[in-house]
A and B are shown apart, each in its own frame.
Chain A
Amino acid sequence: MSEVTLTCVVCPAACELKVLSLPSGEIRVEGAGCARGVEYAKQEVLDPRRVVITVVKVKGGDLPVVSVKTSQRVPKSRIAEIMRATAEVVADAPVEIGQVVAVCPGGVELVATRRVKASADQRAQGGLRENAGQHVLKVE
């Protein structure tokens, strides 16, 4: 039987949880203030996962990097390996938001969370650009 203590992050109450893995395979959670806390604890003990958020390099963009996230939650144990892989990625500008910029070993997709324009058009760092706003800019 093994025992792990966790802090619940489901709500601000931050209950201290004691998670017992019984020989029967059953997981028992103590200290949770609600059912969601029990679920959280079980997931954390059996298969903890995270969305990894980082940046990767961009070639020919108006910014040298683009922010990315993994398309799904990945096992915590694989984060270091995924991060090392991101060091090798170089995306080509332009990069659109939502675009898959690379696939890491194990099929984990890195999805762009920012727009990076090609540097040739000398545009700003994503978002609404000055020229794009011209049609609504009314200056008397």
Chain B
Amino acid sequence: MKLKVAVIGAGVVGASIARVLSMYENFDVVLLDREPDVGWGASKANTSVIHPGHEEDPGEHPVRARLCVEGNRLWRKWVEELDIPARWPGELMLFYSEEEAQRAARYVELARLNGVPGVRMVWEEVKQIEPWVNPGAVGAVYAPTAGLVSPFEAVAAIVENAVENGVRLLAETEVRGVRVSGGEVCGVETSRGFVEADLVVNAAGLHADRVSHMAGVELDFRIKPRRGEYLLFDENVHVKPRMILHPVPTPVTKGVYAVTTVHGNLMLGPTADDLPEEEKDNLSTTEEGLSRVMEEGSRLLREVPPRDRVIRFFAGLRPEPPRGEWLIKAYDDPWGFVNVAGIRSPGLTAAPAIAGYVLELIAGEYDVRLSRKPSWNPYRVGVTSVRGKSPEEVDQLVKANPDYGAIVCRCRLVSKAEIVETVERMRRIGLERVTVDGVKFRTTAGTGWCQGQFCRWGIALIISQATGTPLHEVTVKRAGYGVGDVKVLLRGGSSC
């Protein structure tokens, strides 16, 4: 008999667990998220770096260290299988003095202990390895296995693949309780009713402490939000470091990174501000934080573009558990409850490895004899995009479907065909509400220098047509595009 599994939280961790569980005959998986879409929590707003694993101390956090290194290796495979935008440029941990160099040397030692390949110190060569490095840097720890992914697109791709392999997604479903009977979990109470489950996997990110308490375990466990602010520059600025740049970490933070994202934008960030526990939705940016990012960025880079070339800034919240310790545990009491909580950095990197670890934990703890699904499909193909294709290739695409020649997003060169297909895919994974933001993050339409001023309504019109929703009711992120037709207020607010 199949075990019914409810995975709470469709972030990168929950989605990865769902995907890995979907490989086996033993599980029937439902993936729950409170948002209208997947990956809208901590997974969306981060540095997008796949860390090599040389910053993890195996003495202090053995599981974290192991899963980080393994996650880095697994991502290489996952991005191929799932057609996720990624680059593997390597990273430079810059130091600015002999004294700092000595602190940095420790990371070469950690790399050795963790089995991270290729990590080494470089000195004056650093400026040749990466010409955008600030001349003040005297050297760097070079970690060649560091990579970059598009984190949101990664989650979307993982979920698409998981659903293809039998996982059911329930978005806009908020968990309100974990039902336990006779010492065993039997399901979760949600905003949309009861979801029966033999196993409940808590991957609720920032809110995983609350879910754990609902199950009656780890009652002292508290997750604090740590806010990070980021700046994103116009892709047309010439400052484009090939490698990932960052300073030598402090106990609080890995510091501000400078990366050229997989979509070609210079990104600086994050800051690290610990917020009170109740501010788990506080995604505010601040002038103070953004100035700090600019300042720290200028320590990394030879040149920082002017502030008026910034096209967007945003903040993300990282879930910070006590002592930075991940809480990954399968419980006897209640039987069937699994915490995958407090997954702070390097959570994105480790996610595929965490999923494997959770699988073993479940198999071991609950005595599941795993049996692979012969039909399991490891592959997912991304939406064919016009961007990056030669004119000849685009011509071929247009011959097959004229919508490839209808450019909706001018900045990022995204065609109508891509948006139409993305809307279809969003509906196919089970999203009842297709949001403009969901389309934007999947296709990059609206993420260019004009920030959607020429295409947001175009995207909304396509969604409106595809889903039969009136234009003003199309959801942008969480609210409607408008409040009614243009005469609604003159009629006293009543809809027509």
Query: A-side interface residues toward B, CB under 8 Å?
Result: 55, 57, 64-65, 83-84, 86-87
Tell me if B252 counts as interface (CB < 8 A to partner A).
no
A14→B486 CA distance, assembly (Å): 34
Q: Is the interface of B mostly helix, strand, loop or mixed?
A: loop
Are the C-beta atoms of A84 and B485 separated by less than 8 Å? no
Q: A57-B485, A57-B487, A84-B490 are in contact. List 9 more A-B contacts (CB 8 A).
A: A55-B486, A64-B485, A65-B486, A83-B490, A86-B487, A86-B490, A87-B487, A87-B490, A87-B491
Q: Is the interface of A mostly helix, strand, loop or mixed?
A: mixed
Q: In whole Å, how far is B63's beta carbon from the nearest beta carbon of chain A?
A: 58
A-B contact pairs, 12 of them (CB 8 A): A55-B486, A57-B485, A57-B487, A64-B485, A65-B486, A83-B490, A84-B490, A86-B487, A86-B490, A87-B487, A87-B490, A87-B491
Residues of A within 8 Å of B486, CB to CB, are 55, 65
List B464-489 residues whose CB lies under 8 Å from chain A. Answer: 485-487
A84→B490 CA distance, assembly (Å): 6
Residues of B within 8 Å of A55, CB to CB, are 486
Interface size on B, residues (CB 8 A): 5
A87→B491 CA distance, assembly (Å): 7
Residues of B within 8 Å of A83, CB to CB, are 490
Closest B residue to A64 by CB, please name it.
B485
Q: In whole Å, how far is B495's beta carbon from the nearest beta carbon of chain A?
A: 12
Residues of A within 8 Å of B485, CB to CB, are 57, 64
Query: B-side interface residues toward A, CB under 8 Å?
Result: 485-487, 490-491
Q: In whole Å, how far is A101's beta carbon from the nearest beta carbon of chain B?
A: 14
In the A-B complex, the 6 residue pairs with the smallest Cβ-Cβ separation, listed nearest first, are: A87-B490, A87-B487, A87-B491, A84-B490, A83-B490, A55-B486
Residues of A within 8 Å of B487, CB to CB, are 57, 86-87
A84→B491 CA distance, assembly (Å): 7
Residues of B within 8 Å of A57, CB to CB, are 485, 487
Q: In whole Å, how far is A110's beta carbon from the nearest beta carbon of chain B?
A: 13
Q: In whole Å, how far is A91's beta carbon from the nearest beta carbon of chain B?
A: 13
Q: In whole Å, how far is A122's beta carbon from the nearest beta carbon of chain B?
A: 13
Residues of A within 8 Å of B490, CB to CB, are 83-84, 86-87
A64→B490 CA distance, assembly (Å): 17
A64→B487 CA distance, assembly (Å): 12
A87→B486 CA distance, assembly (Å): 9
A121→B487 CA distance, assembly (Å): 26
Q: In whole Å, how far is A16's beta carbon from the nearest beta carbon of chain B?
A: 34
Residues of B within 8 Å of A64, CB to CB, are 485
A50→B490 CA distance, assembly (Å): 19
Closest A residue to B496 by CB, please name it.
A57
Q: In whole Å, how far is A82's beta carbon from the nearest beta carbon of chain B?
A: 11
Among A64, A84, A86, A87, the one with the most B-chain Cβ atoms within 10 Å of its Cβ is A87
Residues of A within 8 Å of B491, CB to CB, are 87
Q: In whole Å, how far is B484's beta carbon from the nearest beta carbon of chain A?
A: 11
Q: In whole Å, how far is B69's beta carbon from the nearest beta carbon of chain A?
A: 56
Residues of B within 8 Å of A65, CB to CB, are 486
A78→B152 CA distance, assembly (Å): 53
A64→B486 CA distance, assembly (Å): 10
Residues of B within 8 Å of A86, CB to CB, are 487, 490
A86→B486 CA distance, assembly (Å): 11
Q: In whole Å, how far is A60's beta carbon from the nearest beta carbon of chain B?
A: 16
Q: In whole Å, how far is A6's beta carbon from the nearest beta carbon of chain B?
A: 29
A57→B491 CA distance, assembly (Å): 13
Closest A residue to B470 by CB, please name it.
A64
Closest A residue to B471 by CB, please name it.
A64
